[in-house]
Amino acid sequence: MVAPTGITAGLINLLEVFIIAASVGIFVAKVGRFPYTIALLLAGLAVSILGINIDITLTHDLILLVLLPPLLFEGAATTDLDSFRENLVPVLVLAVPGLIVSILVLGVLGHYAFGYPLLLATLFAAMILPTDPVSVLALFEELGAPERLSVLVEGESLLNDGVGVVVFSALFALISQTPPNTDLSELISPEVIAETGLEIVVASLGGLLVGLAAGYLIYRVMVNLDEHMTEIVLTLILAYGSFLLAEHYFHVSGVIATVTAGLLIGNRGAEYAMSPQTKISVFNTWDTAAFLVNTLIFVLIGAKTPIHQMVDNWQLIAIAIVLAIFVRALTVYPFTAAVNRFSRRDIPFSYQHVMVWGGLHASIPIALVLGLPGDFPNISELRSMVFGVAAFSLVVQGLTMSNLLDRLDIVTRTETEELYELLLGRARAVDSALDAAERLHDRGDLPTDVYEDFRGEYRHEKEDLNTAISRLLRENPELRREELLVGERRVLKQEKSAIMDATHSGVISDDIGERLLEEVDLKLDRVDTGRSTVRDDPENEAYEEFWRARVAEYGLDFSPSDD
């Protein structure tokens, strides 16, 4: 029998991967609470140990160009933009200066610990330290981590690997041009620091602009289109197109471009450019795509781990693991403390502990080390250390994350919150069904008698849902208060947008617009510190708007007339 070749062989290898994944899925379903992605990695490691060959080469380009863009896009598209904005300062501080400082510190420590030249040790630091969005997104989604904690960890991971890749590229170029034992003063000269800093700024801002431009272009097309299958294709073009456009044509950060495009389409696009049917189709498609890509990448990382090389270099791997965690802690705690001094919402110590332990390293470091040429100095040791740190990060840190959340008393989701989400989700579905039935009736596609039956049934269910939601909120004041603050924040931002539109269109003058915007910002400040401007009693307002004082000064009586 002739051995299969070409596409047939590739399909057989893919089938082998998904057979492993299906077996892992069945195991996880039977065992219970066990992270699926980590189970996939362990299965892949077992394949590697047993010497079973999966003939799919795990390469730099396969990870960065094929597997990473859909995972970044899906992760960004499902991130709430309001929450991301609220936590943007700590995310940026950790993702940019925090990462750069940690790379420099690990470079110096690694110079002495590994015996490598300083530049080579710093290159290893740039490879291993960026936290991995693929791993973090998968794990936190499975554990159901609190929203703010998820945004902090996921937001940092979505941004800092873009910075890490730029730093890595700059260091790789330096190694190629610099003798191995170059003096430290030459390596950290003002010229080198300025050049590297400029590269990071240009790559990051360039990626942001490319993502915004590509995302807005697709958004404008989707606004005037109501064809959910075509819109799925458009989002696919956007995910890969923004990445390739940024990386290969503008030579800026493709990661940041894809994340920016995903945030735009997943938030503004979902709100203004997608019908209910399109939202369901688009997000279900991307959820499935992310699941399949995660399946492939975690099995392959495990299966392609160089076990024998890792055994030979176990001492270097152990040192690298300790140093990576130590430097991560050395960065997170002081930088977060600095942010807390100037922030209205502190990041609690419990969250900081999770941010240290939850800084997982896997696909991005592996992609970078696989991109090094075969004759690169200490290439075998570098690959062993990267795969070793990645394996420890995913298996040990990943498996203990749930226990850490429990020990720190970080509640993922209470039974009350799950019930509230269930009721809220069903209420939205009922509202959508009523709207759809009305549209069908207005077009003549639904007979009046049938429409009345639909409307009666769904309105009765909506009344029951509203009653259940109201009672649940009354019996759980903390939940009600949190929902009040979340809702108030969204309403105030809509107020702000309306005032800005009125100012730009000339409906109100600039000075009046600035005064109104200032008042909305004051309200937002109160909400961010946990103080609502809304009270149960409308006659007893928690915040008196300045227009009331101006009306009183003018002498205008606006009280209800008895007539």
Q: N- to C-terminal Cα distance for the chain?
A: 98
pLDDT of residue 39: 82
- The dihedral region occupied by 13, where left means phi > 0, alpha psi between -120 and 50, and beta the remainder, is alpha
Report the CATH fold assignment for 7-408. Answer: Na+/H+ antiporter like fold (1.20.1530)
Report residue 557's pLDDT band, with 50, 70 and 90 as the boundaries: confident
- If you average pLDDT over residues 296-303, what whole number do you get? 83
Is residue 58's pLDDT more than 80?
Answer: no
Q: How confident is the model at residue 241 (pLDDT cuts 50, 70, 90)?
A: very high
Taking residue 553's Cβ as centre, other Cβ atoms within 10 Å add up to: 8
Instruction: Report pLDDT digits (tens) over 437-477.
Output: 888 888 888 888 888 888 888 888 889 988 998 898 888 88
C-alpha to C-alpha distance for 193 and 513, rounded to whole angstroms: 43
Quick one: pLDDT at residue 6? Answer: 67
Taking alpha carbons only, the member of 434, 310, 363, 314 closest to residue 37 is 363
pLDDT for position 87: 86
Q: Which amino acid is at 302?
A: G
pLDDT at site 318: 94
3-state SS track over 123-161: HHHHHHCCCCHHHHHHHHHHHCCCHHHHHHHHHHHHHHH
| Residue range 423-437, pLDDT digits in tens | 888 888 888 888 888
Output the pLDDT for position 558.
67
Query: Interhelix angle for 133-143 vs 68-77, to 10°?
Result: 50
**Phi, psi of 373, deg, nearest 5:** -65, 155
Q: How confident is the model at residue 180 (pLDDT cuts 50, 70, 90)?
A: low
Average pLDDT of the chain to the nearest whole number: 83
The b/e string for 195-215 (b: 16+ C-beta within 10 A; e otherwise) is ebeebbeebbebbbbbbbebb
Tens digits of residue pLDDT in 65-119:
888 888 889 888 888 787 888 888 999 999 888 998 999 999 999 989 998 888 8
The answer, yes or no, to whether residue 336 has pLDDT greater than 90, is yes
Whole-number pLDDT of residue 292:
86
Q: What is the pTM of this model?
A: 0.74
Q: 10-14, 232-236, 439-443, 532-536: which has the highest mean pLDDT?
A: 232-236
Instruction: Report d(CA 559, CA 541) in Å as an integer.
Output: 15
Percentage of the chain modeled with pLDDT above 70: 90
Contacting residues for 372 by C-beta, under 8 A, at least 6 apart: 172, 379, 382
pLDDT at residue number 264:
93
The one-character DSSP state at 94 is I
Local structure of residue 396 (DSSP, 8 states): I
- Give the dihedral sign, CA 44/50/52/58: positive
Rounded to an integer, the average pLDDT of 38-44 is: 82
Q: How confident is the model at residue 198 (pLDDT cuts 50, 70, 90)?
A: confident
| pLDDT value of residue 525 | 75
* Digit-coded pLDDT (tens) for 113-163: 998 888 889 899 998 998 875 556 566 666 666 778 888 888 888 788 778
Cβ–Cβ < 8 Å for 180, 111: no
Q: What is the pLDDT of residue 139?
A: 63
Residue 412 has pLDDT above 80, yes or no: no
Cβ-based neighbour number of residue 50 at 10 Å: 9
Task: List helix spans (H) across 304-414.
Answer: 307-312, 314-342, 349-357, 363-370, 379-392, 398-407
Is a pLDDT exceeding 90 seen at residue 319?
Answer: yes
Cβ neighbours of residue 27 under 8 Å, at least 6 residues apart?
A: 34, 39
Confidence of residue 390 (pLDDT cuts 50, 70, 90): confident
| pLDDT score at 19 | 87
Burial class of residue 439, CB neighbours in 10 A (0-12, 13-18, 19+): exposed
Closest CA to 139 of 35, 39, 45: 35
Band (pLDDT 50/70/90 cuts) for residue 3 is: low
Long-range contacts of 181-187 (CB under 8 A, 24+ apart): 181/117, 182/117, 182/119, 184/118, 187/118, 187/119
pLDDT band at 181 (very low <50, low <70, confident <90, very high): low
Q: Which amino acid is at 138?
A: A
CA 16 to CA 50: how far, in whole Å?
A: 15
User: In the chain, which segments carry CATH 1.20.1530.20?
Assistant: 7-408
By CB neighbour count within 10 A (0-12 exposed, 13-18 middle, 19+ buried), where does 440 fall?
Answer: middle
Which of 242-256, 301-315, 485-499, 512-526 holds the top average pLDDT?
242-256
Residue 159: name the closest of 97, 78, 231 by CA.
97
**Token couple for 536:** 């149960």
